[in-house]
Structures are given as structure tokens and as C-alpha cells.
């Protein structure tokens, strides 16, 4: 009586692009349901495939460009050298056009929904889904008084949040990097899983994490940065501080059961978000007592020496006073980060040292300007908060 259902037809159509997989490898965890490629080998080499019978040239762009070879069936393939574990954005280059791999999930980064691949990290499970109590990530829409536009926050609430309707929690504001958005720390960074695991192990106190979009501009003609970039008014960053201070903190403190004082409010961010974190927290020390700068500090990409007496209108020059106000100034970086990050972060740290500003410095071994660095950062940073 029943014919082939629609979903089977769809599956059959999709199946034809997948060949027989090599035995020493597994589909990447970031593959779409059922996709057999990309496959990660035991030594972290990765094999990619794409069916493109009519294309002239196909490459994988991931830690360099890798030429793919066309098989008799029109399927192009390549196996890369071993990759660093963790999450990587990547693209396929088809006849010169940078496109997504249809077999991988997309993640907002590099200013678009780009393909991502997760290379499992052996013997490491602090960012894995484990059988511990899990919190939620709540998608919270709000109308910004600053931008005049609807925005959304991704808000992590800890596992016990709904079971303790009278308990109140400290809050970490946690920002993504350039070309990313409010989804990055959940889908690429796994901040929720990292906190679930830290809280279950009693290594971190239960906290709320607010992940918002670092891009925000006032209504009307685009600000200079946005205009230069060809973006609309929604694309700049000039109103971000006001969004955090005037929109978001009041929204979060009135919507969730927070402890609404500076001693229970932290901010951290990666790359552009680290720069923004330094600026927002240092200009609002009445609101924040914990600062985390992940692969990005207040001097942006500049590697020039900084004199605390004059840099940033002297806001770092009085180390003794800052040390009383700031309970934690945490700076992290991967040891494989490219220029200018080591120089820039080094110059900023040298300025803090010169001014006597206490700070924790953390290095992620062997990782570059990438999400595994920032997962490790969060895993070290979060346990130090609100103690």
C-alpha cells in the first residue's frame, strides 16, 4: 500500500555521493547526519570528498590548500597531513570559488556560515557530552534600545537552575571573535559542555553565561567603520559597549536570577572579543570584577611598546588601585599563534607588569588562533571565577 516515502527518496539521492570508507577512519563528529566524509584517521589525517564531475579544479582550504584528485566517478578526494585536534573552519575551492562542504555542518565564522570540522582530541573529555547534569543554552530575543533592532543572546543556565527557584547566580559575559556571532561559544566553543563538566566536578561554581553578538551600531547613517566595510548600520561595533551596559546587563538581571553586583559579574572574550572585554570592563569597573582576555588584548593588533603612564589614557597606570578592584585579570594565548598576536599580547602584558597590575597568564600548547585555544582558556578561566 505504501510507496517509498519522501525521506527515503531524499536519502537515496544523497547516498550516491558517498563511497566505501577506509577502515582506519571515522566520520568527523561535525558531519551532517549520515555523511561518511570527511573522515578522520587515527593519526588525525582527514580525507575529504566532493562529487563535482564538471569542475576543473577542486581544493580543500584548511591549514593551507590541498589539491583534490578527480576519480573516474567524478568524485574528488584528498587526504590532508595530520591536523591539530579541535575545531577548524574550512572551505572547498571549486574552480576558484570558496564554498562549503555539503557534508559538514556550517558554523558562523569568517563572516559567513562556513564549514567546520571537529578533529577528536585523544584522552581529553572536558568539552565532551558526558553523563553529568546538563544546563541549557537559551535563545533569548530582545529589542535593543541602543540599536533599535532585534538581537538575541545565547544564555547558558547551569544544571541546577530550574531546581532551585530561589537560588541566585553570578554571571559571565562571554564574547566571540571577529566574523563570528552569539552562536560561536556554544557550537564551536562548547562553553555549555565545558561548564557542565566543571560544575559536575565541583571545579567551577554554578554560573550563568551570557553570549551576545559583538557587532552593534546605532540607527541612522553607518558609523565610519561600518561604512568602510560596506556593512549596514547593524554591522559595526561602535555601540557594543552601550548594548552590554544599557541593554544587556539590565535585561539579564531582570530576567534571570543573578547576583547583580560587580563581585559576581565577569567578562571574557576571544580575539576581537578580548579587545572588547578589556575596553568594556576597564571603562565600567563599577560593574565588573573579573576580566578574561583570550588571544586578544586592549591594544588590538599593535605590537608597539605601551607606557602605562600614557597608554589608554593612563587607565592601567595605578597598579595598586587596580589590583584592589580587579579580582582576576586573566590573559591567554596559544603557543602556535601567528604574528601579531604574540607581540601584541606580549606588549600588553609588559605594560601590566610595568604598572604592577597582577594578572594570570596561560598558554595553550601547540594551538594557534583557534577554538581549541579558547576552549582551554575557558576551562582554566572559569574555575577561578567568583571565589
* Residue reference for cell 566532493: 50
Q: Least Å distance between CB 210 and its own copies?
A: 13
Nearer to its own copies (CB atom), residue 135 or residue 292: 135
Q: Least Å distance between CB 286 and its own copies?
A: 25
Q: Least Å distance between CB 42 and its own copies?
A: 18
Nearer to its own copies (CB atom), residue 113 or residue 121: 113
Nearer to its own copies (CB atom), residue 205 or residue 227: 227
Name 154's bridge partners.
139, 211
Cell numbers describing residue 157: 543556565
Q: Least Å distance between CB 150 and its own copies?
A: 4
Q: Least Å distance between CB 327 and its own copies?
A: 27
| Of residues 77, 81, 90, 78, the one with CA closest to residue 43 | 81
Q: Least Å distance between CB 3 and its own copies?
A: 5
Instruction: Please work out, in degrees rounded to the nearest 5, the angle formed at the alpha carbon of residue 83 by the alpha carbons of 77 and 87.
Output: 100
Q: Least Å distance between CB 189 and its own copies?
A: 14
How many CB atoms sit inside 10 A of residue 15's CB?
10
Q: What does the alpha-carbon distance between residue 295 and residue 368 come to, in Å, rounded to a whole number?
A: 9
Q: Least Å distance between CB 324 and its own copies?
A: 27
Alpha helices in the chain (DSSP H): 6-15, 184-187, 191-200, 224-228, 240-242, 249-255, 272-282, 319-325, 341-355, 371-381
Widest CA span in the chain: 83
Nearer to its own copies (CB atom), residue 134 or residue 218: 134
Q: What does the alpha-carbon distance between residue 278 and residue 256 come to, in Å, rounded to a whole number?
A: 25
Could you please report the per-residue DSSP string of 11-34? Answer: HHHHHTT--PPPTTEEE-TTBPTT
Nearer to its own copies (CB atom), residue 306 or residue 378: 306
Q: Least Å distance between CB 352 and its own copies?
A: 16
Residue 60 contacts residue 48 (beta carbons within 8 Å): yes
How many CB atoms sit inside 10 A of residue 309's CB?
11
Q: Residue by residue, what is the 3-state secondary structure of 287-322?
A: CCCEEEEECCCCCCCCCCCCCCCCHHHHCCCCHHHH
Nearer to its own copies (CB atom), residue 81 or residue 219: 219
Q: What does the alpha-carbon distance between residue 162 and residue 103 come to, in Å, rounded to a whole number?
A: 37
Nearer to its own copies (CB atom), residue 12 or residue 320: 12
Nearer to its own copies (CB atom), residue 3 or residue 324: 3
Nearer to its own copies (CB atom), residue 286 or residue 313: 313
Q: What does the alpha-carbon distance between residue 316 and residue 40 come to, in Å, rounded to a whole number?
A: 46
Amino acid at each position: 500500500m505504501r510507496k517509498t516515502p519522501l525521506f527515503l527518496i531524499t536519502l537515496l539521492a544523497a547516498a550516491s555521493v558517498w563511497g566505501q570508507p577506509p577502515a582506519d577512519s571515522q566520520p568527523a563528529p561535525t558531519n551532517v547526519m549520515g555523511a561518511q566524509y570527511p573522515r578522520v584517521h587515527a593519526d588525525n589525517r582527514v580525507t575529504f570528498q566532493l562529487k563535482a564531475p564538471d569542475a576543473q579544479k577542486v581544493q580543500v582550504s584548511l591549514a593551507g590548500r590541498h589539491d583534490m584528485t578527480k576519480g573516474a566517478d567524478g568524485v574528488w578526494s584528498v587526504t590532508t597531513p595530520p591536523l591539530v585536534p579541535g575545531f577548524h573552519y574550512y572551505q572547498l575551492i571549486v574552480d576558484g570559488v570558496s564554498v562549503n562542504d555539503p557534508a559538514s555542518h556550517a558554523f558562523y565564522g569568517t563572516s559567513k556560515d562556513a564549514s567546520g570540522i571537529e578533529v577528536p582530541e585523544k584522552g581529553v573529555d572536558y568539552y565532551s557530552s558526558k553523563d553529568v547534569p546538563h544546563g541549557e543554552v537559551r535563545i533569548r530575543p530582545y529589542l535593543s534600545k541602543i540599536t533599535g533592532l532585534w538581537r538575541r543572546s545565547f544564555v547558558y543556565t547551569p544544571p541546577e537552575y530550574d531546581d532551585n527557584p530561589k537560588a541566585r547566580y553570578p554571571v559571565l559575559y562571554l564574547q566571540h571573535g571577529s566574523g563570528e556571532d552569539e552562536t560561536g561559544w556554544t557550537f564551536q566553543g562548547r562553553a555549555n559542555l565545558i561548564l557542565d563538566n566543571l560544575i559536575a566536578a565541583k571545579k567551577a561554581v554554578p554560573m550563568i553565561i551570557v553570549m551576545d553578538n559583538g557587532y552593534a551600531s546605532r540607527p541612522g547613517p553607518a558609523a565610519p567603520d561600518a561604512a568602510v566595510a560596506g556593512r549596514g548600520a547593524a554591522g559595526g561595533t561602535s555601540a557594543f559597549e552601550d548594548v552590554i551596559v544599557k541593554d544587556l546587563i539590565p535585561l539579564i538581571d531582570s530576567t534571570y536570577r543573578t547576583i547583580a553586583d560587580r563581585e559576581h559579574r565577569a567578562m571574557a572574550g576571544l580575539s576581537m572579543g578580548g579587545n572588547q572585554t578589556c575596553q568594556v570592563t576597564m571603562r565600567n569597573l563599577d560593574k565588573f570584577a573579573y576580566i578574561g582576555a583570550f588571544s586578544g588584548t586592549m591594544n588590538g593588533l599593535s605590537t608597539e611598546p605601551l607606557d602605562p603612564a600614557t597608554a589608554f589614557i593612563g587607565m592601567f597606570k595605578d597598579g595598586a588601585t587596580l589590583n584592589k578592584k580587579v579580582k582576576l585579570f586573566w590573559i591567554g594565548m596559544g603557543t602556535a599563534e601567528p604574528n601579531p598576536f604574540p607581540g601584541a599580547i606580549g606588549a600588553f602584558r609588559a605594560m601590566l607588569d610595568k604598572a604592577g597590575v597582577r594578572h594570570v597568564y596561560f598558554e595553550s600548547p601547540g594551538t594557534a588562533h583557534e577554538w581549541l585555544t579558547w576552549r582551554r582558556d575557558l576551562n582554566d578561566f572559569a574555575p577561578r571565577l567568583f571565589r
